[in-house]
Amino acid sequence: MLKRDDIVKLVRVVAETHETEIGCDACFERLDIFAETELSGVDASAAMPLVGDHLDKCADCRSKFEALLTALRGT
Amino acid sequence: MRERTNEQWLTDLRGPNPDEAFADLYDLLVRGLRVGLGSYGGGVDANVGDFAQEALIKITGNLDSFRGESRFTTWAQKIAMNVALTELKRRRWRDVSLHELFARREAANREPADTQLSPEQLALQNTVLQELRRMVGEELTDRQQEAVVAVILEGMPVSEVARRMDTNQNALYKLLHDARRKLKRQMEASGLSPQEVLAAFEEG
């Protein structure tokens, strides 16, 4: 049952929903290219908007991207 | 470690004497995991060798799927991060069942309506709450409702909810996407603007 303090969380994600979104597999497929694009100084989300959108919405995939980016910057 | 082009990595790993390339790749993965997982703290460092070993098996078993669109080492580190973070999330959430999550949620004392609200604001909030409850109950399947509660409202990782619902992360993301799309269309059809709803609840 939806509670009063669930509303903001739910409506925020509903508001950001697009008809076309890629899934986690398609995001992971492009994650290495996305990370290298970001490292090159280019706005990766502008270059690959569907991947950027997925990373904004999916905490699982975002954690992998952030760890990869940190590793690439630090090694 | 000697520098290699993508082609050299593939040639060395597929060649008759891959030991040096295996060792170099393993070292690279361990270094990357240490740096990339630094923020996870406690105990992770002791596991990076196992994560790198498991990743190495996946990488060498899937060399044909590397399309050369990034550096080979970036592709390999992506796979290592996936192995490590999937396992770390599994450990972090291993003692939580969906049943317990839902039971705890139902038992929890939720914030009552803000007593500072005007009668009009309170009435608006109650209308929105009832309407959204109706949409969730009528438009979403039982599985969609479970996924919405576990992932969106309770913050459980998609991969961990998927494991418990006998599906995979990709399929569960798509199920959630369908649920969000249904709710968005229903809100539009009912004349409920997300911006107005958020304003009514956030300002309250």
Domain positions in chain A are 21-74
Of the candidates B84, B97, B96, which has an alpha carbon nearest to the alpha carbon of residue B32? Answer: B84
Vertex B98 angle, CA B93 and B102, to 5°:
120
Q: Computed from CA positions of residues B100, B101, B103, B108, in that sequence, does the dihedral angle turn out positive or negative?
A: positive
Q: What is the pLDDT of residue B40?
A: 77
Whether residue B111 is predicted with pLDDT greater than 70 in this model: the reply is no
Which residue do the tokens 């603007």 mark?
Answer: B193
> pLDDT tens, A20-62?
999 999 999 999 999 999 999 999 999 999 999 999 999 999 9
Helix (H) or strand (E) holding A54: helix A49-57
ipTM of the complex: 0.95
**Residue B2 predicted with pLDDT over 70:** yes
Q: Please report the pLDDT score of residue B114 as a whole number.
A: 67
Could you say which of B33, B74, B110 has the minimum Cβ distance to residue A3? B110
pLDDT above 70: residue B137? yes
Tell whether pTM > 0.95: no
Tell me A6's DSSP state.
G
- Contact in structure between B161 and B96 (CB atoms under 8 Å): no
Contact B60, B111 (CB under 8 A): no
Average per-residue pLDDT for chain B? 93
Chain A residue at shortest CA distance from B28? A75
pLDDT digits (tens, 9 = 90+) for B28-80: 999 999 999 987 766 788 899 999 999 999 999 999 999 999 999 999 999 99
The whole-angstrom distance between A28's CA and the closest CA on chain B is 8
Query: Which residues from chain A sit within 8 angstroms of residue B77, using beta carbons?
Result: 32, 68, 71-72
Q: Please name each of the domains of chain B with its CATH number.
A: 6-92 (1.10.1740.10), 98-202 (1.10.10.10)
Percent of chain B with pLDDT over 90: 79
Look at B159 and A60 and tell me if their CB atoms are within 8 Å: yes
Set of chain A residues whose Cβ sits within 8 Å of the Cβ of B158: 24, 58-60
**A46-60, B7-21, B29-43, B150-164: range with lowest mean pLDDT:** B29-43
**Distance from chain centroid for Cα B179:** 17
